[in-house]
Amino acid sequence: MPRPATPGYYASHWRSLDYFNLYRLTLAAALVFTSLLFSDSDLFRPGASERFQGFAYAYLVIAALFVLGIRARWPGFQIQLTAHIIADIIIVTLLMTTSERLAGGLGLLLVISIASGGLVGSGRLTLLYAAMASIAVLLQHGFSILGGSHATDSFFQIGLLCAGYFAIGWLAHALTQRALRSETLAQQQADELALLNRINALAIENSPDGLLAIRGDGVVRHASPRALALLGITAPVIPGVTLLQDCSPELARLVQQVGPGIAPTLSTPTSQVRVRCIPLATPDDSRVLVLEDQSQAEQAAQRLKLAALGRLTANIAHEIRNPLSAISHAAQLLHEDAHDPAQTRLTAIIENNARRLDRLVEEVLTLNRRDRLNPVSFDAASLAALIDELRQTEEIPAEAVIVSMPEPLRFQFDPDHLRQIVWNLLRNAWRYSRKQTGSIRFSAQMSGNSMQLEIADDGPGVAPEQRGKLFEPFCTTDAQGTGLGLFLARELAEANHATLAYVPGAGGARFRLSLYGGE
């Protein structure tokens, strides 16, 4: 069980006090042994050996009791230290009264107590201890002179002893103050280092890149949680024990190819990872592998593209629409006056491309308004009505679209956004389907507060090499397409806290709109 701390004192103070009391126990035991060994000698005054022995035993008992106080940390540190010094002064002074021959030597023991008190107590009250010891020794010597045991000229020797007490006290005070400043500085530096380590640990744990530190022999020294997630490692990695070859053989082989200016890509079960190597210039040839998720880089590039797109549309959207309106109007007038089939065909081309440009501008403007949400409640009937309206707009036969959804369907979505999403998916499904009965299938289902809407067709589906680019802006395989339909649909879905994804499988293309936390 940890011992309670004392405010203002470090654990080293109590440890030093413990050592100081160990010296006291040893001294008390030595005094007891001395009293037993020389009890019948003329070293003591007549009849004083028993008193010396009693004082020695009392000193031993007091030192043993001090052990309990130090272990309990009660009372406070300074109170205990002062009690220790006072006990030393009293016991030593009483021992000095039992023998004139031992008095001077016993008085020197107080020098050790004063010096130890100053060192252990960080220099506090050291001069007070020296003064108390001097007063006690002077009083003892004065009573000895009155008793006829010493002559008056022996005061010079006692004066030198008392001066030594103050000199030792002042020296201990100066040394302990210097040591205390060094200890305080070391503690501050240790606290700053611990804080820096915590900051580094938080930065590593929350970094979007994975960090992996390995030695030259392939032993993993550190692996961040993000690195383990990117590599798909589920087994425990023990720093300093686990080999990179054991937990990720592909990365271990790739590390041999990594060098300055070389950043190969590693395919993992979760993503494509770009590997960079940073040497640490250590004797064991340690290196840090930075694992960058390529999807993060693609998302960052996409955000930059969106920002540039937003700035572009904010400046030129209206300027584009005004000339488009004039071109469309002029094309209609030409079409009304056209009598030549070639002229009619040319005006039709103008009108078709003008409509295409107008649709492109409208889709981009809708993208810029994706955060303006006005969610309303939808149920099975309202969703079916929306699908039927869009089917008629695209002139799709009723028998070509099959709608299947449960009655207790209920969710919230921005109506304009949902219309745009369903319209894009329905238009793409009809474009690539076989255009037969049941070519397009709408299905919806509820699971708790979650809703899933699926749109499938019977067309050829999406080629595997094109699936990664489905939702990229301005990416299309149709010469008449803008490349913004699916990208816009996904952005609008995310604005409504939903996800739009392509579901691979046989039998055509299938897209799933998932909304979590619906009403």
Task: Annotate 159-182 with DSSP letters as a single string.
Answer: HHHHHHHHHHHHHHHHHHHHHHHH
Q: Are residues 315 and 380 in the same domain?
A: no
Q: Are residues 87 and 113 in the same domain?
A: yes
Burial 478-505, CB ≥16 within 10 A → b, else e:
eeebbbbbbbbbbbbbebbebebebeee
Q: Is 197 domain-assigned?
A: no
Q: Is 196 domain-assigned?
A: no
Q: Are residues 98 and 241 in the same domain?
A: no
Q: Are residues 302 and 282 in the same domain?
A: no
Residue closest to 270 by CA, chosen among 234, 300, 246: 234
Question: First and final CA of the chain: distance in angstroms?
Answer: 54
**Across residues 144-165, what is the average pLDDT?**
80
Q: Are residues 173 and 44 in the same domain?
A: yes
The CA distance from 466 to 203, in Å, is 36
Q: Are residues 286 and 391 in the same domain?
A: no
Domain boundary among 268, 294, 320: 294
> What percentage of the chain has pLDDT greater than the value 90?
27
- Give me the pLDDT at residue 360, please: 67
Q: Is the pLDDT of residue 73 over 80?
A: yes
The amino acid occupying position 154 is S
Neighbours of 143 (CB within 10 A): 12
Q: Are residues 282 and 310 in the same domain?
A: no
State both tokens at 31. Answer: 């005094």
Q: Determine which helix (DSSP H) or strand (DSSP E) holds 474, and give its type and residue range.
A: none
Chain centroid to Cα 267, Å, comes to 27
Q: Are residues 487 and 393 in the same domain?
A: yes
Q: Is 3 domain-assigned?
A: no
Confidence class of residue 1 from pLDDT cuts 50, 70 and 90? very low
Domain of 140 in residue numbering reads as 11-189
Q: Are residues 179 and 37 in the same domain?
A: yes
Q: Is the pLDDT of residue 89 over 80?
A: yes
Q: Sign of the CA dihedral 407, 410, 416, 422?
A: negative
Q: Is the pLDDT of residue 348 over 60?
A: yes
Q: Is 493 domain-assigned?
A: yes
Confidence class of residue 62 from pLDDT cuts 50, 70 and 90? very high
> What percentage of the chain has pLDDT greater than the value 70?
86
Strand partners, 279: 287
Confidence class of residue 476 from pLDDT cuts 50, 70 and 90? low
Contact of 502 with 470, CB cutoff 8 Å: yes
Confidence class of residue 79 from pLDDT cuts 50, 70 and 90? very high
The amino acid occupying position 227 is A
Q: Are residues 364 and 381 in the same domain?
A: no
Q: Is 202 domain-assigned?
A: no
Q: Is 481 domain-assigned?
A: yes
Q: Is the pLDDT of residue 439 over 60?
A: yes
The CA distance from 243 to 220, in Å, is 6
The CA distance from 344 to 350, in Å, is 10
Do the strands 210-214 and 287-293 form a parallel or antiparallel pair, or are they unpaired? Answer: antiparallel
Domain boundary among 305, 335, 368: 368
- Cα-based distances in Å from 197 to 103, 158, 202, 204, 240: 58, 57, 9, 10, 19
The CA distance from 261 to 197, in Å, is 30
Q: What is the mean pLDDT of the chain?
A: 83
Q: Are residues 409 and 454 in the same domain?
A: yes
Pick from 63-72, 399-408, 439-448 the range whose average pLDDT is largest. 63-72
Q: Is the pLDDT of residue 251 over 90?
A: no
The CA distance from 220 to 17, in Å, is 44
**Number of domains comprising the chain:** 4
CATH code of the domain covering residue 462: 3.30.565.10
**Across residues 357-377, what is the average pLDDT?**
71
Confidence class of residue 478 from pLDDT cuts 50, 70 and 90? low
The amino acid occupying position 315 is N
Q: Is the pLDDT of residue 249 over 50?
A: yes
Q: Is the pLDDT of residue 510 over 80?
A: yes
Task: Establish whether the linkage from the previous residue to 75 is cis, with ω within 30° of 0.
Answer: yes
CATH code of the domain covering residue 248: 3.30.450.20
State both tokens at 120. Answer: 């252990």
No. of H helices and E strands in the chain? 15, 12
The CA distance from 207 to 228, in Å, is 13
Which pLDDT tens digit goes with each residue over 323-341? 778 888 787 877 777 677 7
Q: Sign of the CA dihedral 474, 427, 376, 363?
A: positive
Residue closest to 119 by CA, chosen among 150, 151, 89, 84: 84
Q: Sign of the CA dihedral 326, 332, 337, 341?
A: positive
Which pLDDT tens digit goes with each residue over 35-45? 998 888 888 88
Q: Is 253 domain-assigned?
A: yes
- Give me the pLDDT at residue 168, please: 92
Q: Is the pLDDT of residue 202 over 80?
A: yes
- Cα-based distances in Å from 215 to 208, 255, 320: 23, 12, 60
pTM over 0.85: no
Burial 253-273, CB ≥16 within 10 A → b, else e:
ebbeebeeeeeeebebeebbb
**Residues ≥6 apart with Cβ < 8 Å to 391:** 398, 401, 426
Contact of 405 with 444, CB cutoff 8 Å: yes
Pick from 196-200, 364-368, 465-469 the range whose average pLDDT is largest. 196-200
Q: Are residues 35 and 124 in the same domain?
A: yes
Confidence class of residue 90 from pLDDT cuts 50, 70 and 90? very high
The CA distance from 65 to 24, in Å, is 12
Q: Is 199 domain-assigned?
A: no
State both tokens at 305. Answer: 């593209």
